[in-house]
Amino acid sequence: MTASSPPPLLVLGSASPRRLELLAQIGIVPAALRPADIDETPRKAETPRDYVRRMAVDKAKAVHVADGEALLTADTTVAVGRRILGKPRDRLEAAQFMRLMSGRRHLVLTAVALRHDGRTRHRLVQTKVRMRPLSEAELQRYLDAGDWQGKAGGYAIQGAAAAYIPWIQGSFSAVVGLPLSETAAMLAAVGLHGQHEGGVA
């Protein structure tokens, strides 16, 4: 982008209402939503960091981008050691994930990719999260509420599971689904600024 050219139109390559809400917090309103449809199966022996980075970049590759557009994609995963905890398939798997995290620390990894003008930039943000020990009764009440559905690791830090998380180290917004500081810097680099900053969203 030259100094005289207008900023690109932002396309969000996600159907996540949480990512849309996070962008709104920094005054960014996408011009369009184009969710990416890709195979999210981890490769054999793929590390959580490599996996989440690949997912964000693969999503950026999968969505059509026209001239004058910038595409933002992201992926979030939960990791316990080298084990990737994606979105649980059912209640049983959600219970397994929550028991695995109960009383210990885990990592939430969020990768962001920005495709613009033939180039794709990406960033990986790591946040450490501690979940307090859960009793079986607490776990069953949580599963009954259904808040685990569609969430990496089986929980959302801004949802019911907030009661179980006394400590994090890193980016809260990244755990929700989009690291806002890093994302804002990436967008600013291509001329996209939040409305409250006096720029164009």
Query: Has 75 been annotated as catalytic?
Result: yes
Cα gap 162→168, rounded to integer Å: 11
| CATH fold of the domain at 9-197 | Maf protein (3.90.950)
Which SS3 state, helix, strand or coil, does residue 138 take? Answer: helix
Sign of CA dihedral 11, 13, 18, 22: negative
Residues 6+ apart with CB under 8 A from 103: 131, 132, 133, 134
Catalytic residue among 39, 50, 75, 90: 75
DSSP state, residue 43: P
Ordered by start, the domain boundaries in the chain are: 9-197
Altogether, the residues listed in the chain come to a count of: 201
Strand partners, 116: 70, 119
3-class DSSP assignment, residue 100:
helix
pLDDT in tens, the chain (201 residues): 555 678 999 999 998 899 999 999 999 999 999 999 999 999 999 999 999 999 999 999 999 999 999 999 999 999 999 999 999 999 999 999 999 999 999 999 999 999 999 999 999 999 999 999 999 999 999 999 999 999 999 999 999 999 999 999 999 999 999 999 999 999 999 999 987 544 333
